[in-house]
Structures are given as structure tokens and as C-alpha cells.
A and B are shown apart, each in its own frame.
Chain A
Amino acid sequence: MGNSILSDDGVGIYAAREVRRRLAEAGRSADADIVESEVAGFALMELMAGWEKIILLDSIQFEGLQPGTVIRIEPEDLHTSLRLRSVHDIDLPTALELGRRMGLDMPARLTIFGIQAQDALTLGESLTEAAERGLKETVELVLQEIRDS
């Protein structure tokens, strides 16, 4: 996930592309479907429906983290109660829960790898050095996760 023309905001998209390339190189493209998405909220809920397991890659902007840091997040870690977190749309845990309540086939397992962004406000199609480091680490973690699945 991310916006691929907004510097580090796009690091999740770039990482997913690299995962796709590495899987193809190893002849293992069938192991995972790589989907690039620039949407959130309701649209993300619909996109997530029907998959057994999802590994979500996105930039993060958490307080106190060094740029480029990669952290593994479970959806319940994002916040402790289902609150309105957005002025435009619903957030990820709410999207998951809403999908379930509406009877959609939401993924049983969801893992998020977040890469701390340094600059996610400057329009551009390249990453900062920190995000680039985070991308490399993420790709290895995701490939391992796919192998273990």
C-alpha cells in the first residue's frame, strides 16, 4: 500500500514489486499474489475480502521510531478500541471488523510490515536512503513469511 508518487509513502508498493521480482526469479510466483493498492478504508475492505492470509506492506509514521525501521504489526496493535480514526474513511481494524459483520469473507490472518517513513510529504518517485534500507529488510522478512506460510 502507499502512494507511489509521494516519496517514502510509496515504500510498501516498491517493496511489493521487489518481492514479486524475487519470487519470479526463484520460479515461485505462484506462492503469493502481489496486489498493489493505493486505496484505504471501505475500498481496502472490499479488496481484502476473499483472501485466506494477507501480508500488508505500508509506510508508517509512528512517534519515536527511526526512519527506515521495520516493524511487524498485528491489526489489534494499531489501537485498542474501534474508534473513528479518519476524517474521510474508516481505518484498517474497522474495515476488517465491518467486513466481518457484513458477512464478507475477511482474511483469517493479516500481518502488517510497517516501514517508518522519513519523508512522506514530498512528491517524488524515489525513496530516502532510510526507507531504501527498510525496503531491503522488509523484502527478506516477507519472503520468509511466504516460505513459512
Chain B
Amino acid sequence: MKRISIDPITRLEGHGKIDIFLADDGSVANCYFQVPELRGFEKFIEGMPIEEVPRVVSRICGVCPCSHHLAAGKAADAVYKVDPPPAAKKLRELYNSAAYVHSHIAHFYALAAPDFVLGPDADPAKRNILGIVEKVGVPVAGEVLKHRAIAQDIQIMVGGRSTHPVWTLPGGVSKGITEEQRQDIVEKAKSCVEFAKFSLKLFEDVVLGNKAYLDIILSDTFEMNSYWIGTVDEKNHVNFYHGDHRVVDQNGKEVFRYKDHEYLDYISERVEKYSYLKFPFLKKIGWKGFVDGPESGVYMATPLSRLNAADGMATPLAQAEYEKMYSTLGGKPVKKLLATHWARLVELVYSAERLLELAQDPEVASPNIRTLPTATPEEGVGIVEAMRGILTHHYQTDKNGLVTKANLIVGTTNNNAPISMSIKRAAQKLIQPGKEIGQGLLNMVEMAFRLYDPCFSCATHSLPGEMPLIVEVKDPEGNVIHREGR
């Protein structure tokens, strides 16, 4: 049996890699996706006061620290059975919206766009952000960096720090914003809305306007017939900070709906001996292996999932884009996974509009930002939508509020089984007996993985970079016959 390894070179000891096993005839036999996982999290925070946890968990990750901070903050509210005042909730959501703008801009322009703006089989030396700058020009690239920076400035203004916030407290937040800051955010948010619109226009012109790219999106190489999960408000519109967590089936029909504290009734986790990372699945459907369809409890948690699991968007421009996406792609749910990039841009518009809406609400400048907790702390669950999937934090404490037990299901963990299945499917469709395995083809396999915007458990950013990948093709004896680095 041949083996193709897509290895991050910082993890050559066996963590964090994609293994594609080829049968003797050259077809894909199987595929495994392994990721590194931080060790000792529970031990590290054991004995820590619950109010300290949000600022510690935000520092286990440089990719979605805001999401960890807010999920832990909501869990800490629940541990103390305290409901933050409206201004605090709005500020948290405002902060989260800015973080989404920041993250989705970076993902689209630096990570997704190179495959589409430059082409999946473009020279890898140019298939990156520098190639994008060359293609779209320095002024447009300047706008990309400007709005990423604006979103970051808002996070610093509101949350104290950009990357590692130190701000939520049980019952609210540690500081509010002034009226002057609120007005500043309004202006910044208006600019973000315009930039989000521009980004969707760019996607339409460059990607949807190119039949070859549209064909790739619509091909059956990148699709999944799983359940879909996302958080919705009372009108079943997408919400990233609060609401019910809704699961829809392969026909888009709601099958489950749960609140933060009920997650253990709906989500279960399976361990596979080859991976450190667990495989969550829908408990009431059950684990049937790495297969999709109604009998399998595999669910997906991505921007596309959130849109599939909702009935619409809560803001007008995003709603129009949502309708356009579904009418173009043939209705709900969309199962073509590369549409996740499109969904991410619809979410970018929503985040920017929501940021503006919240900033225009005078209440966000209210000084009433904290309800002091008075109950005895016990146990709590906090769930938010991290950019790359639903994020669950669950803590138990003693009566002094010191953590005794923690459980986290992070964004990418939800997608552990779908990522494996997507890579396998793409590899099976693309790698054919007798067909040369070149870097363009392997990049297409990787596209099945990158669309998830996967986050590897907030692991190290040791040089030479974060998660570089190496692709190795091995013959039946295990000899490397082809090697691609990226």
C-alpha cells in the first residue's frame, strides 16, 4: 500500500498530519487526519479561580483568543449564576463582531483567495498573499490591511488587548467604552461594511465570474451530506454570541435545538486510537463511523454550517447576500463545501453590519457593565461561535470558585471527522491510477482541508511558521517517490 503524507514539518514526530494511503493500483484506500493537542490544560487551570480562566484560556491560542475569552466568560457567568447587564452583553458581542471582521478578512485574502484569484494550480511561489497583492494591486491590498487593522483597533479599545483580551468578568466586563469611543467605532464600522461589500464583489467578479472556478465549487469533489450546526437567535437568524444551538439535517430541517447547559445531551465525543483529538458526534443519532447521511451522527460546524442551520441573517445586506448564495447554489442546505468561502464572506458582511448596529446603540457606552455575582459558584457552560466552528467551555468549581474540572470542545474538533472525510473524498476523486500526482493536484486535496480554516488546538507558533505542510508520496515499500513542501 502506498502512503501520501501531508505533514506539518514542525510536527515530524507524528502529530498534525494528513496521511493518504494508496492501494497498489494507485487509488486512494484510506485517509487519516491527525492533529496535535495541547497537554495538561485541565491540570494547568485546576485550582485556578474561575474568574481568572477567561484571560488564561485566551492565551492558549493566538488564532481565536477572543472566542475562547468569551466562551470562558459566559461559562464563568453560568458558574456564578449571574446575568450580565444588557450593556455588557452588547459590548461582548460588539467585540466579537470586530474579531470576526479581523479573522474573516485575514482568512479570505491570505488563505482562501490565493487558490481562486491565482488558481489552484498556480505556481506555489506566487500562490500566496504576495501573489494577491500583485494581482489586485497595492491600493486594494492596502485596504485589506487597513480594515484588518481597524478591526484590531476596536478590539484593543474595547477588550484592553487585541490578541489576548483581559476583560470579561463573571457578570459582565471590567471596563466600558466612552461616548467618544462609541462614535469612533461607528465610523470604523461603516468603513468595514463598505470593505465587506467590496470583498463580496471581488469574490463575485473573480470567482463566480470564472466558469472554471465555479465548476470546481459545484463539483462533487468537495461535498458532504452531514448534519449542520450553528447558533441562532429567536428568529432563527445566525448569531455568533448567544442563542440556541440548532442542528439541521441533510434536508435543512431542524432536528435538535439546545441551550448551552444542555450540550452533553446532544454532543458526545469518540476517541480513535490514532489521533489525540476526539471526534464529536450527535449523541441522539450515534456514531456510525466516517460516513455521512441521516444515519450517521457526523455534523459539521463551519461558516457554511451556520448559514445552513439558520433561516437567514439578522442584518439587511447580509440577508441579501445569503439569499443570493442559496439561489445561485440551488437552495438549502448547500452541501458544496468550497461554498464555505462564500459563506465566510456573507458572515463578514454580517459581522461588519452587526458591529455598526451595536456601535450605533447608545447603551454600549453605558457605565452599567457588571452585575456583581452573589451566588455560590458551582458549574457552568459557555458556548459561542468561534470563527471556525461552535466552541464549548464547561467548568466545575468548588464553593470558593476554584476550578475542579474543565471540558472544552473547540471549533476544529467539531470538524475532526468531516475534515478526514473531506480529504478522503477529494483524494479519491482527484488521485486516480496512472495520473501524475503533482503539486497542483495535491493543493486541490489540501483545499478540502483549508476550507475549514482549521485551528490545531491553539498549539505552538514556534518558527519556522505555523503549520507548514509537507506532502510525501510513498511507494508500497515506504520509499518517498514524490515530495512537495509548502
Contacts of A81 in B (CB 8 A): 124-125
B138 touches A102 (CB 8 A): yes
Would you call A87 and B38 a contact (CB within 8 A)?
no
Expressed in whole angstroms, the minimum distance between the Cβ of A47 and any Cβ of chain B is 11
The answer, yes or no, to whether A111 is at the interface (CB within 8 Å) is no
Q: Are B37 and A121 in contact (CB under 8 A)?
A: yes
In the complex, what residues of B have CB within 8 A of residue A3's CB? 59-60, 62, 460-461
9 contacts between A and B (CB under 8 A): A5-B44, A6-B38, A40-B62, A40-B461, A79-B485, A86-B467, A87-B454, A88-B467, A123-B39
Choose from B43, B125, B460, B465 the contact partner of A86 (Cβ within 8 Å). B465
| A87 near B62: Cβ-Cβ < 8 Å | no
A117 contacts B465, C-beta separation under 8 Å:
no
User: With the chains together, A1 CA to B163 CA distance in Å?
Assistant: 14
Distance in Å: Cβ of A105 to nearest Cβ of chain B:
14
Query: Which B30-50 residues have C-beta < 8 A from chain A?
Result: 36-41, 43-44
Select A91's contact among B36, B148, B453, B466, beta carbons within 8 Å. B466
B12: CB under 8 A from chain A?
yes
Other-chain contact of A73, B36, B149, B454, B463 (Cβ < 8 Å): B463
Across the interface, name the chain B residue whose C-beta is closest to A9: B460
What residue of chain B has the Cβ atom nearest to residue A77's Cβ?
Answer: B464
A residues at B contact (CB < 8 Å):
1-6, 9, 38-43, 46, 58-63, 73, 78-79, 81-92, 94, 97-98, 101-103, 112, 114, 117, 120-124
A91 to B, closest residue via Cβ: B465
| A124 touches which of B12, B44, B459 (Cβ 8 Å) | B44
With an 8 A cutoff between CB atoms, is B130 at the interface? yes
Shortest Cβ distance from B9 into chain A, in angstroms?
A: 7
Q: Considering only CB atoms, which chain A residue lies closest to B161 in the complex?
A: A38
Which residue of A is nearest B145, CB measured?
Answer: A102
Could you say which residues of chain B place their CB within 8 Å of the CB of A122?
38-40
Whether B60 contacts A6 by the Cβ 8 Å rule is yes
**In the complex, residue of chain B having the shortest beta-carbon distance to the beta carbon of A104:** B145
B320 to chain A, nearest CB (A): 30
Residues of A within 8 A of B453 (CB): 87-88
- Does residue B127 face the partner (Cβ distance < 8 Å to A)? yes
CA distance A2 to B124 in the complex (A): 28
A6-B60, A59-B462 known, 18 other contacts, Cβ within 8 Å: A9-B462, A40-B62, A40-B466, A41-B466, A42-B106, A82-B128, A84-B124, A87-B450, A88-B107, A88-B453, A92-B464, A112-B463, A120-B460, A120-B462, A122-B39, A122-B40, A123-B39, A123-B43
The verdict on B329 contacting chain A, using a C-beta distance below 8 Å, is no
Please indicate the chain B residues that have their CB under 8 angstroms from the CB of A62 in the complex.
464
With most chain A CB atoms within 10 A of its CB, the pick from B111, B459, B463, B469 is B463
Q: Does B455 contact A (CB under 8 A)?
A: yes
Size of interface on B: residues with Cβ below 8 Å to A: 59
Beta-carbon contact of A88 and B128 below 8 Å: no
Q: Contacts A78-B465, A91-B465; is A84 near B460 (CB within 8 Å)?
A: no
Q: Determine the residue in chain A with the shortest Cβ distance to B449.
A: A87
Q: Are A94 and B128 in contact (CB under 8 A)?
A: yes
Q: Which residues of B contact A (CB under 8 A)?
A: 9-12, 15, 36-41, 43-44, 56, 59-60, 62-63, 106-107, 110-111, 114, 124-125, 127-130, 133, 138, 141-142, 145, 148-149, 152, 162-164, 449-450, 453-456, 459-469, 485-486
| B74 CB → nearest A CB, Å | 22
**Chain B residue with the shortest CB-CB distance to A101:** B133
Closest to B162 in A: A43
CB distance from B460 to the nearest CB of A (A): 4
CB distance from A77 to the nearest CB of B (A): 9
Residues of A within 8 A of B149 (CB): 46
CB contact between A58 and one of B15, B128, B138, B463 (< 8 Å): that residue? B463
- Closest A residue to B65 by beta carbon equals A38
Q: Which residues of B contact A120 (CB under 8 A)?
A: 459-460, 462
Output the residue of B44, B456, B460 with the most chain A CB within 10 A. Answer: B460
Q: By the criterion CB–CB under 8 Å, are A85 and B460 in contact?
A: no
Q: Tell me the smallest distance from the CB of A115 to a CB of chain B, in Å.
A: 9
Residue in contact with A39 in the complex, picked from B44, B62, B107, B468, CB distance below 8 Å? B62
- Chain B residues near A41 (CB-CB < 8 A): 106, 110, 466
CA distance A91 to B466 in the complex (A): 7
Q: A6-B60, A101-B133 are in contact. Are A90 and B110 (CB under 8 A)?
A: yes
Contact call B466/A85, Cβ cutoff below 8 A: yes
- In the complex, A122→B459 CA distance in Å? 9
Q: Is the CB of A39 within 8 A of B39?
A: no
Given known contacts A90-B110, A91-B466, A98-B129, is B44 in contact with A123 (CB within 8 Å)? yes
> Within 8 Å CB of B485, what residues of A?
79, 83
Inter-chain contact B9/A58, CB cutoff 8 Å? no
How far is A102 from B144 in the complex, measured between Cα atoms in Å? 11
**A61, B13: Cα distance in complex, Å:** 10
8 Å CB contact of A83 from B128, B141, B152, B162: B128
Taking a contact as CB atoms closer than 8 A, the residue among B15, B164, B466 that contacts A88 in the complex is B466
Task: Select which of B37, B114, B130, B462 is within 8 A of A117 by beta carbon.
Answer: B462
Q: Are B130 and A101 in contact (CB under 8 A)?
A: yes
* Shortest Cβ distance from residue B146 to the other chain A in the assembled complex, whole angstroms: 10
- Taking a contact as CB atoms under 8 Å apart, the answer to whether B468 and A85 are in contact is yes
- Chain B residues within an 8 Å CB radius of A98: 129-130, 133
Q: Once the chains bind, are B130 and A38 in contact (CB under 8 Å)?
A: no
- Smallest CB–CB gap between B139 and chain A, Å? 10
